């Protein structure tokens, strides 16, 4: 390390934002003093953070409301997982040059010891090189979330027809591929032709629906999306020769929910009896003025449909799972990745000062695959 850093830039939230789209002026960069070299204790080490994981759940932490996790304080750096390199160390387990990941928040430098869930990131798995960024995406939260939603929250089985929204994003793209690997027929939903082509051509979904193909202001929006979904399911089932065998021909057995809102209402219109739903995220609702909007169908009518169709709908959070379940998921994901069986596109925005733009881009769909911020142009 050339010279020991005396301070670290960090991103702070200036006010809690209950509802509506955050604005760049709601955030600011402040300098934070770093523990001086002489004051480092035994087992301390300094991480130069190279990548920030840019995740939709930060939005919930900006509201000031306690949910399954505390809101961001206005007096501490915001952010979440990151990855970087140890540049100074008094800890033999974290030597200088080691690649690490942990909850570093949006900061350039972090002093670590046994805090922040810091782990060494293996450079190789099964003989294959693993870029550091994958520890934040396909071999990190994105991959785990997809795996848990498919195998532990719901239980997908070979031959099922599965619908996955947000299919070209970090979690969705992992879910599409894991679903295909499990022998399911997969219909992705994504916004725009580039993303839809990616879902079919690269991720190998059997069919895709571009939800932006229908005008959002059309009063028959949900009905028109429902027609597109029905067509996609019929095409996909026929292509897989399953239209006769499927428990619910023309309908879906499983829904991996990433988006919510009217897209989700259309999917509920094509769910068959005994369908399972893993509610992973509802990104379309995170920034609406006044908070989440009611469904077109009233909630009791929805519950009647849930009852008569015997749907099993479960929300989940990636942190709900045991070390054993994480271990199983990591082995499955790393094995598939090292064999070249998992595509993991990344959208890397470069420059610490662009962190908030990279975050807001999640809500306009600017990212294809995992959204990341590379802290400095030169690593």
Ligand X SMILES: NC(=O)c1ccc[n+]([C@@H]2O[C@H](COP(=O)([O-])OP(=O)(O)OC[C@H]3O[C@@H](n4cnc5c(N)ncnc54)[C@H](OP(=O)(O)O)[C@@H]3O)[C@@H](O)[C@H]2O)c1
- Which residues form the interface with ligand X (CB under 6 A)? 55-57, 141-142, 145, 166, 168-172, 190-192, 195, 258-259, 263, 280-284, 316-318, 362-363, 365, 367, 371
Closest-CA residue to 47 (of 112, 95, 114, 119): 112
| Nearer CB in complex with ligand X: 316/330 | 316
The two tokens of residue 297 are 């169908």
**In the complex, what is the shortest distance from the CB of residue 376 to ligand X, in angstroms, rounded to a whole number?**
23
As a whole number of angstroms, the distance between CA 217 and CA 208 comes to 22
Judged by CB, which is closer to ligand X: 36, or 67?
Answer: 67
Shortest CB 264 distance to ligand X, Å: 9
DSSP 134-172: GGGTTTSHHHHHHHHIIIIIS---TT-EEEESSTTBHHH
**Nearer to ligand X among residue 156 and residue 283 (C-beta):** 283
CB of 64 to ligand X, least distance (A): 18
Least distance (Å) from ligand X to the CB of residue 102?
A: 17
User: Counting every residue, how long is the chain?
Assistant: 379
In the complex, minimum distance from the CB of residue 56 to ligand X, in angstroms, rounded to a whole number = 4
Give the nearer residue to ligand X in terms of CB position, either 112 or 191: 191
Are 374 and 349 in contact, with CB atoms under 8 Å apart? yes
Q: What minimum distance in Å lies between the beta carbon of 19 and ligand X?
A: 14
Q: Which is nearer to ligand X, 55 or 253 (CB)?
A: 55
Q: Are 211 and 226 in contact (CB under 8 A)?
A: no
Could you tell me the smallest distance in angstroms from the CB atom of residue 177 to ligand X?
A: 13
Choose among 69, 49, 83, 28: nearest CA to 356: 28
Cβ atoms of 227 and 221 within 8 Å: the answer is: no
Task: Give the residue with the Cβ less far from ligand X, 190 or 229.
Answer: 190
CB of 209 to ligand X, least distance (A): 10
| 169 beta partners | 369
What is the rounded distance in angstroms from the CA atom of residue 363 to the CA atom of residue 349?
A: 15
**Minimum distance from residue 344 beta carbon to ligand X (Å):** 11
Question: Are 163 and 267 a contacting pair, CB within 8 Å?
Answer: yes
Residue number with CB closer to ligand X (46 or 368): 368
Q: Considering beta carbons, is residue 330 or 363 the nearer one to ligand X?
A: 363
Decide whether 8 or 173 has the Cβ nearer to ligand X.
173
| Helix segments in the chain, DSSP class H | 58-61, 141-148, 170-181, 193-197, 221-239, 261-268, 299-309, 323-338, 355-361
Question: CB–CB of 166/281 below 8 Å?
Answer: yes
Residues 201, 173 contacting (CB under 8 angstroms): no
Segment holding 28, helix H or strand E: strand 27-33
């Amino acid at each position: 390390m050339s010279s020991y850093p005396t301070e670290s830039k960090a991103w702070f939230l200036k006010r809690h934002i209950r509802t509506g789209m955050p604005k760049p002026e709601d955030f600011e960069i402040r300098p934070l003093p770093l523990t001086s070299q002489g004051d480092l204790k035994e087992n301390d080490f300094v991480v130069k953070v190279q990548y920030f994981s840019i995740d939709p759940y930060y939005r919930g932490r900006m509201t000031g409301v306690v949910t399954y996790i505390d809101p961001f304080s206005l007096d501490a750096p915001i952010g979440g997982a990151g990855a970087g390199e140890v540049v100074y160390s008094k800890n033999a387990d974290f030597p200088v040059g080691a690649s690490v990941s942990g909850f570093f928040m949006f900061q350039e430098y972090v002093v670590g010891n046994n805090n922040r869930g810091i782990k060494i990131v293996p450079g190789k798995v099964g003989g294959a090189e693993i870029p550091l960024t994958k520890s934040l995406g396909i071999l990190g939260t994105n991959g785990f979330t997809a795996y848990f939603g498919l195998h532990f929250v719901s239980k997908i089985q070979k031959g099922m027809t599965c619908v996955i929204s947000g299919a070209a994003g970090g979690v969705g793209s992992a879910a599409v591929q894991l679903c295909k690997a499990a022998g399911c027929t997969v219909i992705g939903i994504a916004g725009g032709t580039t993303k839809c082509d990616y879902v079919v051509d690269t991720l190998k979904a059997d069919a895709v629906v571009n939800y932006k193909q229908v005008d959002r202001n059309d009063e028959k929006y949900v009905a028109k999306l429902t027609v597109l979904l029905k067509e996609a399911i019929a095409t996909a089932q026929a292509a897989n020769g399953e239209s006769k065998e499927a428990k619910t021909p023309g309908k879906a057995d499983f829904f991996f929910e990433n988006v919510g809102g009217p897209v989700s209402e259309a999917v509920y219109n094509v769910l068959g009896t005994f369908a399972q739903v893993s509610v992973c995220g509802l990104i379309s609702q995170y920034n609406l003025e006044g908070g989440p909007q009611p469904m077109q169908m009233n909630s009791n009518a929805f519950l009647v449909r849930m009852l008569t169709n015997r749907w099993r709908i479960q929300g989940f959070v990636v942190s709900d799972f045991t070390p054993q379940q994480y271990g199983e998921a990591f082995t499955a994901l790393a094995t598939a990745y090292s064999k070249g069986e998992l595509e993991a596109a990344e959208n890397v925005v470069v420059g610490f000062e662009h962190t908030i733009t990279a975050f807001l881009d999640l809500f306009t769909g600017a990212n294809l695959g995992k959204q990341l911020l590379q802290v400095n142009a030169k690593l």
